[in-house]
Structures are given as C-alpha cells and as structure tokens.
Amino acid sequence: MVDKEVEKAMLPYFTKIYGNASSLHKFGQEAKEALEKSRETIAKRINALPEEIIFTSGGTESDNLAIKGVAYANKDKNHIITTKIEHHAVEKSCKALEKEGFKVTWLDVDKDGFINLEQLKKEIADKTILVSIIHANNEIGTIQDIEEIGKICKEKNVYFHTDTVQSFTKTEIDVKKQNITLASFSAHKVHGPKGIGALYIKKGTKIKKLSDGGSQENNLRAGTENIPYIVGFTKAVELAKQEHCKKMQELRDYLIEKVDKEIPEVKLNGSRKERLCNNINITFKYIEGEALLLRLDDKGIAVSTGSACSSRELKPSHVLTAIGLHPAMAHGSIRFTLSRYTTKEELDYAIKHLKEAVAELRKVSPLWRGK
Amino acid sequence: MYSQKVMEHFRSPHNLKEIKDANGIGKIGNPVCGDLMWVYIKVDKNKQGKEYIKDIGVKTFGCVAAIATSSMITDLAKGKTLEEAKKINRDDIKDALDGLPPIKVHCSNLSADGLHRAIEDYEKKKKA
C-alpha cells in the first residue's frame, strides 16, 4: 500500500501546487522545483546525475523505452542479448524487435535462476547493441550479479540495461560501480503510487524517444509531468530504509523454514542465498496453484501463482519453465511477497491456513499418496 | 470471475473421495496441463433391475473449475441409471454451475468425460 506519508506528500500537488512544470509563471515554477528536487533524490539513491533520470509511467514504459529506444537509435547494429526469465515488459519488447528484424539471444539460466557469465561473454558480438538482464527476478527473487555483468558489458563496449523494479531500495544499485547504462524503476514496489516510475539513462547513451510531443524529460518522454505522483514516488524512496529489508529477510527465512518443516513435499524455487528479501516462491507438489490461491484468499491471504490455470494464456510461468521445473510442478507454485508492514503474527496465521489448505487439496488429489 | 455456484462447490466439494470397492474407474486429464481427474463409480441394480450409479467419487488435481466440475458430476450422476448417466454432458455440468469462464470450459470441464470413461470401464469389466 501507499505509505501514509507518501499520500500526505502528494496531496498539495493536486490542489495548491498544481502548475505545469513547463510554464514560466510562479505556479509552474513551483511544480518545476518539486520535479527537479525529486529527480535529484532518485539520482542520488543510485549514484547517478539528476539529468540522467527521466520519469515515466512505471517499469513497463521504462523497459520499453530502454530497449526499443536504444535499438532504434543504434540501427548500424542489430543484436540484443537478454534472458529467458525477464519480466514480460522486457521479454515482449525484445520479441517485438525480433519481429522487426533485430536478432535476440535468450540466455539460459541454471536451476536457481542465474545466468552463466561465460555464456554472456561468448554471445556478445560486433553487432550487439544491448544486454538487458533483470536484476532481481519478480517471480523467484533470484538476484543476478549485475556488477560482474556490468563489467563484462563495459569491457565489450555494449550497453547494459537492467530491470531493477524489484530490487530498487532493497539491494544496492550504484550505476557507476555496476557499470549500468540504463535501469528501470517503479514506484509501487516501494510503497509509492501506481502508474509512476523512472528510467536511468547514462549520459551520452544513444536513445530514440518513443512518443512525440513536447520536449519534457530531456526530450525523451513527451507529455506534461505527473508532479503529484513523482513527488509521491520520491517520498516513498526516501522512506525506504535498509533496515526494512533486514526485517523482511528475517521474516522471509522464518516462513521458508517453517513451511519446509511443517509441510511435506515442498520445494523452494529460486536461489536460497542470493534472494530478494521479500520474495518466497514455493512449489506444493500434487496440487494446483489457483485452487490453493483461492483457498488462501478466502482467509484474507493474498498470494500469486505460476500455474497456467490462472494465466490468460494457459501456459505455466516462463520463469519456472526456464529454471527447469516440470509443468506439473510449476502448476503447484505459489509466491508470497512480504512488505515492511508484514508481521510475524501475520505469517503464523498464513502458515496455519496454508497447512490446512494444502492438506485439504492433497486429500482430494489423485497424485497424492501420502497420509 | 467464477460464479457463486462454482465457488460453493469449490469451497465445500461433494464426494471428492476414492471409492475402495468401485467397479468402474475413469481417468482423464493430464498433470502437465494442470487438470487430472479419477472418477470412481459403484454400479448396482435398482428395484426395477436396472443398473444405476449407487455411489460416485472423484479425486481431482486441478484448479477451482476442475474441483467444482468434479463435485457437480457426483451430484448429477448419483442415483441415475447408466443410460441416464451416459447422457450427462459437459454443457450440463457447465449449466448446473451457472456457467464457467470461457477459458476454463475446454481444459477443466472434464468430469462428464471422466464419468463416461468410468461407465465404459465398468461395462468392459462386466463382459470380461
């Protein structure tokens, strides 16, 4: 949810400070000031320059602009490297470019969801424009070694984009140290409002704008800036502290261990160690995720599933497939996401009902042969 | 997304059980697709000497729709003669549940087919 303080910070910008940041009058200049202060705050958090940050409508738009914008601006080359576990915004942007004639290499991942750095090195060629690799995976929480990836991209002189929507404020992002060329951010993953995000674009990067109009946001994103949301995003980032992640990590490990101890035949998906502090993804064998999801929903517990049965395309999660999970196992996967507001009592409540729901569904499953 | 009726059957499914002395079993679906049903029937003769479904149970691996359609087939088939039970089709299940989401009609509405297989299994065993 949006933090109360975020909401409070946003409110004046709907009424009192409602100017258009492009206008020269005082009202406009007040809005402009808020906009540039926000830009500075976001930039500082990732060790970037303010002019290297542009505000967008969120992670999806940032990913689209980063990938398509860089591809279109560098048509003397034609090759993009990404992975098989990207968020749909990156995956589908790359697929769209494939249809337009660009060549895309889809890197494999191992059973924990890590790419192979040697494979990455080998795949970078003269025609490679961009490498796009998700920092922390949204489904299984695995965190890639982006510093090492950045180093490789710098050595080979190719652009490096990373979707940091999940990892932002939860793990260190330092665009200089990690040699990042472009990074996508979203506000609602850090208790900011939905519909706002940002893209970091390293100074000097050749990129083409995707929407035409005014010259806002460094002439890369036309349209009047959404000041209240930008202010809300910034406030949310200011409120996100490292100690929140420590607390979430303890709760995460508590849930993982408790489930492992109390429910038989379960499997944690994603890396145990290099894992997002708020992500838990578990397969409960012999049952299907949508059924489990709605059983938990009845108890007020909201989870998501990688089961095909809950997706519109009726295909199991591409991420779970990429880490080698059998479709029947992917169907039984559930993701729990923690926040800084999550308490141990809530987890105990969730575990109790999870245990019951899993047992009930297994009892009626022909695949379950346990007691 | 799901009708009230579907949710009722999902929350408290009827006869989702194995029948130990079943004389017909119909297996349908595939765990790879996410839906698997084993339909058990116990066939007996009624007072008129006609074969009927005295008891029915289903074991189901699958989504909400799969569980609800499994529960519904037991309601529709229990007590019916084999001739009547053979006529129960997918649409009957769907209608009795006040409809299913379009995407689920094909993949999860398998219980009528499972029942037909169980009846075939019974008849095959009887001949043997």
- pLDDT per position as a tens digit, A51-81: 999 999 999 999 999 999 999 999 999 999 9
- pLDDT per position as a tens digit, A188-208: 999 999 999 999 999 999 999
- Beta strands A304-305; A333-337: pairing state: antiparallel
Mean per-residue pLDDT for B4-29?
Answer: 96
Mean per-residue pLDDT for A119-131?
Answer: 98
Instruction: Give the per-residue pLDDT at A312.
Output: 66
Binary contact (A366, B63; C-beta < 8 A): no
Instruction: Give the per-residue pLDDT at A242.
Output: 87
Instruction: Give the per-residue pLDDT at A93.
Output: 98
Chain B residue numbers with beta carbons less than 8 Å from the beta carbon of A290 are: 63-64
Q: Which residues pair with A337 in a beta bridge?
A: A279
- pLDDT per position as a tens digit, A283-331: 999 999 999 999 999 999 999 988 776 666 678 899 999 999 998 899 9
**Which one of A286, A328, A363 has the shortest CB-CB distance to B32?**
A328
Query: Quick count: other Cβ atoms within 10 Å of Cβ B4?
Result: 9
Binary contact (B60, A365; C-beta < 8 A): yes
Cα–Cα distance for residue pair B17/A143, rounded to 1 Å: 43
Q: Is A369 on the interface with B (CB under 8 A)?
A: no
Top CATH class of B4-127 equals alpha beta
Q: Is A57 on the interface with B (CB under 8 A)?
A: no
For A20, the 3-state DSSP assignment is coil
CA-based nearest distance A314→chain B, Å: 8
Instruction: Give the per-residue pLDDT at A237.
Output: 97
Mean per-residue pLDDT for A5-17?
Answer: 95
Q: Which residues pair with A363 in a beta bridge?
A: none
Rg of chain B on CA atoms, in Å: 14
Interhelix angle B4-11/B64-77, nearest 10 degrees? 90
Instruction: Give the per-residue pLDDT at A310.
Output: 66
Residue with token string 């998906």:
A269
Q: Are B70 and B60 in contact (CB under 8 A)?
A: yes
Instruction: Give the per-residue pLDDT at A371.
Output: 53
Q: Are A249 and A325 in contact (CB under 8 A)?
A: no
Mean per-residue pLDDT for A101-130?
Answer: 98
pLDDT band at A240 (very low <50, low <70, confident <90, very high): very high
Instruction: Give the per-residue pLDDT at B107.
Output: 75
Give me A142's structure tokens.
């695995």
In the predicted structure, residue B33 carries a pLDDT above the cut 90:
no
Binary contact (B63, A286; C-beta < 8 A): no
Backbone φ and ψ of A189, nearest 5°: -85, -5
Q: Where are the domains of chain B?
A: 4-127
- pLDDT per position as a tens digit, A21-53: 999 898 899 999 999 999 999 999 999 999 999
Binary contact (B59, A366; C-beta < 8 A): yes
* Average pLDDT over all residues of chain A: 95
Chain A residue numbers with beta carbons less than 8 Å from the beta carbon of B28 are: none
**Which one of B17, B60, B63 has the shortest CB-CB distance to A309?**
B63
Mean per-residue pLDDT for B67-74?
Answer: 97
- Shortest CA distance from B68: residue in chain A: A291
Please give the domain boundaries of chain A with CATH numbers for all domains.
4-239 (3.40.640.10), 242-363 (3.90.1150.10)
**Which one of B7, B34, B59 has the shortest CB-CB distance to A288?**
B34
Instruction: Give the per-residue pLDDT at A313.
Output: 67
Active site residue A153: no
Tell me how far CA of residue A248 lies from CA of A206, A271, B116, in angstroms: 39, 16, 51
Q: Are A267 and A282 in contact (CB under 8 A)?
A: yes
pLDDT band at A370 (very low <50, low <70, confident <90, very high): low
